[in-house]
Each structure stands twice: as structure tokens, then as C-alpha cells.
Structure 1
């Protein structure tokens, strides 16, 4: 079944030069026939934790009314697509990804979601190259969040040695909420401790000042200075994700086996209790039976949760084996 994320870019993002920037939707989908080549597109993925300013950046860059997320909530639970046509006719496609710091948004899932979206567009006959990545970070953070560091490490592992850093911009946000000297000190620390490998590889840091002018000061050199060939993120990530997902599934299988053994032993203990009930006086049998039934209900709940997990794992195995 086609995912929601795979439907957003099936159209060629057509629009007249004087047309207001718009967000593509499912009504734009075309699944039959062939269309004439559309305008040249430059696809940019935006990564970062929730509330970091990705949606704000898109809103200022496109002029669209983009819902803004907050620290403890994300605008979406999937990928959203926005587009803006420049005066030279080139269409900038913004790929807004979920905040990876939420409980169900680990680095693997967000990057895998991006990869699967890119693959789905090619599968539907729309050639999509990922031309650049904007990696967002709040300059107001006085420490590097664990989720952010984990994401940086994973991303560095996946693309850091493949020439991709030149296509990655490290965007710091919320400069108007911090003393300038404090922000500069944190930016220096980021450069020295957390982003050094990216910067050594050709990445650069940019400051976003929450305005359309600031957004396009960041975008214009990037769009004009990077080849439209894109870097092969799907092919880079596919093998890594498959290996990591198989390891993750194997670990989950071990945990499931351990849970099954625990449930088995609990059921054996309850059976022994039931066998002992017949040896008790009639007055005590009722109380013990109530106790056993209460414990059995808890064990049944564990078993139900385990079966649900195994069903989900089976679905993930199927997806893993049928994505190519």
C-alpha cells in the first residue's frame, strides 16, 4: 500500500509564474499517461528536532502559511512537501521531515522515511534527486541534546565519507533569543566539537534570522552553486538501513523470546496454584481462585502485548524483504 509520504510529489509541481506558492496535495496526483517535462526542481531536505525552526524557515522562504511546531510537539508525523518557484523558473522543493527527538522519531526512522520517500517518487515515474540538506540546530540550546548528537553521528556515518558534506548546510536558529556573544560562543563550540567533520568535509554554517531575506540569503548560493545531479542518498542509506533494521529485528526477536519464557514460567506457577486449590478448605478456595484469576489476567495482557509486537515485527520483516 502506498504511504502518505509517497503521494505528495507524484505531480510535477506545475504552476504559473504568477501563481502563489502552494503546497501540493493528493488532488495533484497523476497516475496515468505521461506528462511533459516540468520545471527544473531543486530538492532540499530539512532535518532537525521539533521546534527548531524548520517550519518557520519554509514559511519565510515560500510565503506559505506553514503550521509552526513547538518543543514538545511536531507539526506532522510524516514528510510534508512545499514548493516555491524562483524568478529564473527553477522550483525549490522543501522536504520537511518530522522532529527526530520525539519518542517515536529516532534517527533511523526519520532518515529511513526520507529515503523511502525518495525511492517512492522514482518508483512512480517522477525522477527526484536530493540536491541538498539543511541541518537545523537551536543556538539557544546550552548543551547538545542526546537525540541531536545521535542523529549527527548517524548522519555522519552514512554520508560523511561520500562527498555529501558540501551539500549540507548547518543552520543555527533563534539568534534573537540569545545574547550575541553567547550565541557566537556556542557556534564556536558546535564547530569545534560536534560539526567539525562536516565542516572539514565542506559543509558550512549559516544563521537564520526568521525572515524571508535571511532564508533566501541561505538558499540562493546553495541553489546556484550545487549541481542538480544530487547525491545518491537512497543508495547510500539502503544497505545501512537494511543491516541495522535486521539487527534491530533480531534484537526484538530475542526480547520476544525472553518475554515468552517469562510468560510460560508465570503460567506454570499459576497452574501449580490451581492444582493446590483442591487441597484447601472450601472457605479458602474462593479467595485463592480470585487471586489466581487476577494474576492470570495480567499474564494474558502480557501475552496480548507480545502477540501485537510479533505481528508488527512480521509486518516490518515483510516490508524489509519487499522494498526493492
Structure 2
């Protein structure tokens, strides 16, 4: 058996293989609404054989968007189109998932192809919030430090968004605690210099994430899995690090989190990140070994052989691909061919499966 194509049970959800579509911002929404672009983008990866399709960072509030073009799930009107997309994904034998997110101090910025820096309120931008009033860098907006009421609103927004995610037909939630967005901003001492119960010690800095996890689990059914994406290290002295991530992961495991999606970086501009094939796999492996929680590896995994090696060796339980899925929406189908695994192709595409012949000859 090719390990990459073995099923994996996450509570009541069965992933048909270990290849997962990582959340990838499309910057193609208006007022948070999904549209036909998202249907085709996400649906194509389901047709291509991915086991779990995690929708891009989806804002739990308008001010939680990275850009004005981000997807949202802060109002009931967002739900119907998400239901349509998720029904299509499920019909292909894939599992629909969503990454719930709040950008914090990295909000109200331009999408990559529209410019750089702050989107002015006159152009559709908004005031941003963070742990303190320190911006990400000189080209980003200056945040307002969240007060007690603001923190309660963040937790409530995640709770409400999780309820809408259930109504929309998602079967997996991933909470975005990575890449320098709000939950990560609270975790790292480099971005969190608060002096109240949400800052200072490790226990205080993880408090917001734990509260969000608890709030999500209040409305997210016991039989459905919950994932947390963490940046395992800031790659910067004095920042959030792998030891912190291991300690936090063990705590998340007993609080109803089923898998840690192990990324890195994003909280420090120009951090010295040693980017290369599989450069983040080491963190997935360590967290899995030291806590026993399931882990996912992500980051420059581009070939079937690399993906198979990661799961076959036990370094991680799933692999999440992003850019490779942009290049090849049908990566799982061709990975199976490359590795010699038998998988089902969509009936509409069966006649194009390599080396398939009929009694009448090749078609």
C-alpha cells in the first residue's frame, strides 16, 4: 500500500488519502462573498482527487480581512454560496474544510497584484486592531490595541463563524494561528507586549487562542474535527519558537484539537527563513513525536516522492500543498499514477486515465 493513498480518520470524517489542499487566498471576493471563481478553483481540486479542500483564510469579521477582496463568513448571507461550493466538493468524494481567520495588524492591505501597503478607508480600507499599537512594519497600518471588549468580540466572532461554517456544510474547521495574523500576534512576544492577562508569560500569550478553541468547540460538533495552523517558529531570536509550539500543541490536544498544521514564519518582516524543499517538515515530525497529536506538513512539497516519503516515514500524517496545487489541480491523480497506487478517477475523465484501454482499443 502506498501510504500517501491510505485513508485517515479524523473523528467521523474519513479522508480518502493524505493529500490536502492548503488554504490559499484568492483575493477575489466582494464584501466577503464567494463567487464562481471560488466554485471552480476549489471544485477543480476536488475533481483532481484531494481528500480535504481547506478554503482560504475566511474572515470572521469585516475588520479581520487581510484585503478588501478576502472571503468572509461574518454574516448569514455568506452561507448559501458556500453551501453550493461545499455540495460540489462533497459530491466528488472530497471533504470541504474552512480556515477561520482574523488578520489583526496585517489587515486592510492591498491584494498582491493591486499594490502594496495600507488600503485607505476612502478606498475601502478600515481601522485595524492588534495586541498592541505596534504595526507589522512601516508599510502596514498602525493598529489599535484590543481592549477587554475587543478581545471578547474576537472570541465571539470565531464562535459565530464556526456556527455558520456548520450551516454552510463544512466538515473541518482550521483555526489560523500562524503567519503573523491575530492569534499568532498574541502568541509571539515579538508582537505581544501587553501587560495584562493576555500578555507577558507563555500562559497569558496563549490565552486568546485557547479561548477561541473553546468557543469554537462550543458550537462545532464533537464528531467533526478541528485543526489549528501554527507557525512553529518566528525564525527570530526572542520570538515564538519550536519549544513553545510543542508545549502549546500538547495543550491543544486535550482541548479538542485533532491535528496541528505545521507552518512557520510570517510575524517578522525579512526573517532569515531557510526556505527549501520540505523545510518545515522537521516541526511536524517533532510535534507528532513529542505530543502524539496528528500533524500536517506544509511548505515546498512539490513531488509525489517527497509527499510519500513524509507520510511513509511517519514525519507527518498528511501533507498540505499550496502552490503545487495552483500549478497542477489534479496532483493526486498523477501522484497515484507516478507511485503506482490505484485511485478512482472522475467518471467523466476516466477515458483519459493513462494506460486505460477498452475492448475497442484506446479512447
* TM-score in terms of structure 1 length: 0.35
* TM-score in terms of structure 2 length: 0.32
Question: More helix by proportion, 1 or 2?
Answer: 1
Asked which structure has the greater CA Rg, the reply is 1
